Amino acid sequence: MDISSTALLTAAGRARRADISLDRYAAYWMQAQEHSYAPQLGESYAQEVCSREDIGLSLRNRFFLKHLNAFAEAWIDGVFVNLAAGFTSYPYLVDKPVESFEVDLPAVADVKRRRSAELQSQGILPDRKVVHCAVDLSQRDQVDAMLAAISKSADGRPVFLLMEGITYYLDREMTEYIITAFGAMSSTASVVAFDFWRPAAQEHQVFAKLSAFYSTTLSHWGGFTLIDDTLLRGLSPYQIEELSDAIAQEVEVLGEIPEEAATATFLEHYAILVRR
């Protein structure tokens, strides 16, 4: 499989725990003909890497949806841009409809464009304006063109930029570049939301299992990018609105968690930054 298939793994997790993720559409993305292998892939992942991942992925979705809802509530003319959107459903879940752009590699963007049109015409997804863009975020020229297009479309309106499930696949320099360049071109009150893995993640049992799983299943995979706090401290046009993580969200949403579950949980961190 290639890197685009990781979007099915995360969607499968949200579908299995829709009670937590609040993504009532997650299962529909996997019904596309070309995704028939998704349930089997999800099973292998749960067995070989982490059976608790469904909960973590679903809490992550719920966390970002909460912040997107707050943004859309505050800014009636706001714009939502989802980088490496995969098969997430935010434009269809957000309480107040928001103009949306979804960016991913062509293999995902093309299927998502077709499938969302099908699901909207069947009345399964609500009617929403979503533009699907094929961009390779590892390529500086494509990123620059994308940022220029976002700036032109937003035309001074606040933008909520989400980077979920992508910082560990991009070079750290590119993540920093995207966030900094977005800060330079976006209006005040714009938001950057992302999840990331700190260097301590390498010591977790799930990290080794995930690395082994990807090295045998992914056609091109060069390891994960870990992000330390110097990146967060250096992002000057922003203030940190919230930093959280998988365990803090599990406690907040589900209450106390058993000690053995806490050690089995892979600690993903979540950041919400607001442009000053």
Ligand X SMILES: C[S@@+](CC[C@H](N)C(=O)[O-])C[C@H]1O[C@@H](n2cnc3c(N)ncnc32)[C@H](O)[C@@H]1O
Whats the size of the chain, residue-wise? 276
DSSP for 111-159 reads: HHHHHHHHHHHTTSS----EEEEE--TT-HHHHHHHHHHHHHHHTTS-E
Q: Which amino acid is at 79?
A: V
What lies within 8 Å, CB to CB, of 164 at 6+ separation is 60, 61, 64, 82, 84, 86, 88, 193, 194, 195
Residue 138 within binding range of ligand X, rule CB under 6 A: yes
Q: Which span sits near ligand X by CB under 6 A: 41-49, 71-79, 136-144, 181-189?
A: 136-144
Taking the least distance from each CB to ligand X, the nearer of 75 and 168 is: 168
Binding to ligand X, residues 97-116 (CB under 6 A):
104-105, 108
Cα dihedral sign for 106, 108, 130, 62? negative
Per-residue interface string for the shown chain with ligand X, residues 167-206, x marking contact by CB under 6 A: --x-------------------------------------
- Min separation Cβ 230 and ligand X, Å: 23
Among 165, 175, 201, 246, binds ligand X (CB under 6 A): 165
- Min separation Cβ 260 and ligand X, Å: 26
Residue 246 within binding range of ligand X, rule CB under 6 A: no
Q: Identify any residues that bridge with 105 across adjacent strands, giving them in sequence order.
A: none
Q: Which span sits near ligand X by CB under 6 A: 131-139, 186-194, 249-257, 262-270?
A: 131-139
Binding to ligand X, residues 2-61 (CB under 6 A):
3-4, 6-7, 10-11
Instruction: Give the tokens for residue 233.
Output: 């401290």
State in Å, rounded, how far the first CA of the chain is from the last one: 41
Please tell me whether residue 176 adopts helix, strand or coil conformation.
Answer: helix
CA 24 – CA 15 distance, rounded (Å)? 7
- Min separation Cβ 61 and ligand X, Å: 7
CA 179 – CA 235 distance, rounded (Å)? 8
Instruction: Give the tokens for residue 215.
Output: 């090295």
Instruction: Give the tokens for residue 138.
Output: 């590892």
Residue 239 within binding range of ligand X, rule CB under 6 A: no
Comparing every residue's Cβ against ligand X, the nearest one is: 86
- Min separation Cβ 83 and ligand X, Å: 7
Residue 225 within binding range of ligand X, rule CB under 6 A: no
Number of shown-chain residues binding ligand X (CB under 6 A)? 21
Residue 78 within binding range of ligand X, rule CB under 6 A: no
Q: Which span sits near ligand X by CB under 6 A: 124-132, 150-158, 165-173, 228-236?
A: 165-173
Contact footprint for ligand X (CB under 6 A): 3-4, 6-7, 10-11, 84-86, 88, 104-105, 108, 135-138, 164-166, 169
